[in-house]
Amino acid sequence: MTSLQALNFASHAHAGAVSPDLIFAQPAVYEAAPLIQQMEAEIDQLSGQLAQTFEELNLIHNLACNLDSVGDRNTLCRDTLRKLAVCLPVETVAIVWLEQNSRVGSAVDVVQAGEPMDGALLRRIAEELGSEEAVVANYALRSAPEIDRAISVRLEGGLRSSSRMLAIGSPSGAELGTIEVQLMQSVASILQAHLAIDDQFAEMRSMFAGTVLSLVSAVDAKDPYTCGHSNRVSQLAEMLADDLGYDTHARETVRMAGLLHDIGKIGVPDAILGKPGRLTDEEFDQMKKHPVLGYGILHGIRQFEPILPGVRHHHESWDGRGYPDGLAGEEIPHMARILAVADAFDAMSSDRPYRTGMPLARVEKIFREGRGQQWDAEVVDCLLNDRERMEQFIQQRDSLGTQLPSFDLWSGHRIGSK
Ligand SMILES: [Fe+2]
Ligand SMILES: [Fe+2]
């Protein structure tokens, strides 16, 4: 019940016994009615503005709180626009990249929310309203005469891209102005911070990938007879891990461990690594140091921590007669057991200076004999169960060794994460 309705009700309630005071009051009530109506309208308007302000604050709060959740840039932009669309009295909000947008994903140059609009049209509008920090157009646009309400604010999208954030249309027909511009600029600032973090993360991941590949190349360069070995072990170990039920994240760890499992060979003398014949006991003792040397090389780098068990223990033996720590059975980290099988398969099936690669039948026989003795029986069974894969692996060994691995999923150990 409004204030005016309350007063009317009070006057009717006393109609049976009319008070002289009320008789005098009634004309005053009717005189005040327009004022009261105006006040009610103002209160309604204020309530609306308060609700709007709350939505805007909520939006800013939500965006700011998600600063540390760096994810897919398109998703981030789309989510932000969806939230912004709720707060703006417009039909469509969009982000249009005007320059090279290398980080947002291939062929994506427009992200939008609200009423769908043609991407090419949005791009023309962004270009027309792209000159200033912020532009409000309450007039028919040259690029789209049917549109007479639009806002465009600058959005720096990262190291090599710049873009415009657009708000288009006004369902109520009301002009757009400062309030809408300020909200869009606040949102654009927060989004820019997100995108800058994402850029830095991508740069660091790229450096990380470059470092890993350099390390792998360094091992290959020292040991030309086993060129591509790290890459092949990495790929086969990942396949075995997949068969053994490892999830995506764990498979990535196995793959990385495969790439770097022999990194310690950097510390083994070239004369031993390149010796075209069987090693003496002393030389073999030197060679046996490489798992511990590899562990030492990677030990201080936090991003490599998950792969350390694989690097250190890939020459342990199920019966405890391996090295460096003489672990036995299930004491051996599971990742290392997988690497041991992949490592041995590649070593046996590859040519060496003093022998050609063994035929697959002989490799299978050795694995069957060493099942539960040298290697984890479950992992060996996993290898032997897929003969076609082993044949393909041997046929394609040269190309497999040179395929550069991708690190797209290595975000589980991303730089800066805990
Ligand atoms: Fe090794
Ligand atoms: Fe190896």
Ligand 2 centre to CA of 416 (Å) is: 30
Q: What is the pLDDT of residue 151?
A: 96
Ligand 1 centre to CA of 294 (Å) is: 9
Ligand index nearest the alpha carbon of residue 265:
1
The rounded distance, in Å, linking the Cα atoms of 96 and 114 is: 15
Ligand 2 centre to CA of 299 (Å) is: 19
Ligand 1 centre to CA of 174 (Å) is: 72
Q: What is the pLDDT of residue 408?
A: 52
pLDDT tens for residues 3-50? Answer: 444 444 444 444 455 566 656 666 666 778 888 888 888 888 888 777
Q: What is the mean pLDDT of residues 378-398?
A: 91
Q: What is the mean pLDDT of residues 292-317?
A: 94
Report which of 81, 352, 384 is spatially closest to residue 223, judged by C-alpha positions.
352
The rounded distance, in Å, linking the Cα atoms of 39 and 47 is: 12
Q: Which residues contact 111 (CB under 8 A, 6 or more apart)?
A: 74, 77, 78, 81, 94, 95
Q: 243 near 382, Cβ under 8 Å?
A: yes
Ligand 2 centre to CA of 343 (Å) is: 5
| pLDDT > 90: percent of the chain | 46
Tokens of 350: 């590859």
Ligand 2 centre to CA of 166 (Å) is: 55
Report which of 88, 158, 91 is spatially closest to residue 125, judged by C-alpha positions.
91
Ligand 1 centre to CA of 291 (Å) is: 6
Report which of 167, 153, 152, 145 is spatially closest to residue 89, judged by C-alpha positions.
167
105-109, 173-177, 318-322, 404-408 — most confident range: 318-322
Ligand 1 centre to CA of 262 (Å) is: 5
Q: What is the pLDDT of residue 217?
A: 84
Angle in degrees, 0-180, between the axes of helices 20-65 and 73-87, rounded to the nearest 10: 170
Ligand 2 centre to CA of 261 (Å) is: 6
Q: Which of 181-190, 275-284, 328-337, 350-359 is least confident?
A: 350-359
Ligand 2 centre to CA of 262 (Å) is: 5
pLDDT tens for residues 171-221? Answer: 998 999 998 999 999 999 888 888 888 778 878 878 888 888 888 888 878
pLDDT value at 165 more than 50: yes
Ligand 1 centre to CA of 263 (Å) is: 8
Ligand 1 centre to CA of 66 (Å) is: 43
Ligand 1 centre to CA of 169 (Å) is: 65
Ligand 2 centre to CA of 226 (Å) is: 9
pLDDT tens for residues 137-156? Answer: 999 999 999 999 999 999 87
Ligand 2 centre to CA of 218 (Å) is: 14
Ligand 1 centre to CA of 260 (Å) is: 9
Indicate the pLDDT class of residue 340, thresholds 50, 70 and 90. very high
Ligand index nearest the alpha carbon of residue 346:
2
Alpha-helical segments (H) within 223-263 = 229-243, 248-260
Ligand 1 centre to CA of 259 (Å) is: 11
Ligand 2 centre to CA of 325 (Å) is: 17
> What is the model's pTM?
0.65
Instruction: For 363-415, give the DSSP string.
Output: HHHHHHHHBTTTB-HHHHHHHHT-HHHHHHHHHTHHHHHHPPPP-TTGGGG-T
Ligand 2 centre to CA of 319 (Å) is: 19
pLDDT value at 106 more than 50: no
Q: What mean pLDDT, rounded, does the chain reach?
A: 83
| pLDDT > 70: percent of the chain | 82
Rg of the chain over Cα atoms, rounded to whole angstroms, equals: 35
Ligand 1 centre to CA of 301 (Å) is: 20
Sheet with strand 92-97: strands edge to edge = 110-114, 92-97, 161-168, 150-158, 134-137
Q: What is the pLDDT of residue 388?
A: 93
Q: 137 near 162, Cβ under 8 Å?
A: no
Report which of 205, 209, 201 is spatially closest to residue 70, judged by C-alpha positions.
201
The rounded distance, in Å, linking the Cα atoms of 411 and 373 is: 36
Q: What is the mean pLDDT of residues 289-300?
A: 94
Ligand 1 centre to CA of 350 (Å) is: 15
Ligand 2 centre to CA of 230 (Å) is: 6
Ligand index nearest the alpha carbon of residue 348:
2
Ligand 1 centre to CA of 385 (Å) is: 24
Ligand 2 centre to CA of 204 (Å) is: 28
Ligand index nearest the alpha carbon of residue 228:
2
Categorise residue 320: left if φ over 0, alpha if ψ from -120 to 50, beta otherwise: left
Q: What is the pLDDT of residue 192?
A: 86
Q: What is the mean pLDDT of residues 66-84?
A: 76
Ligand 1 centre to CA of 370 (Å) is: 18
Q: What is the pLDDT of residue 215?
A: 86
Who has greater pLDDT, 82 or 50? 82
pLDDT value at 354 more than 60: yes
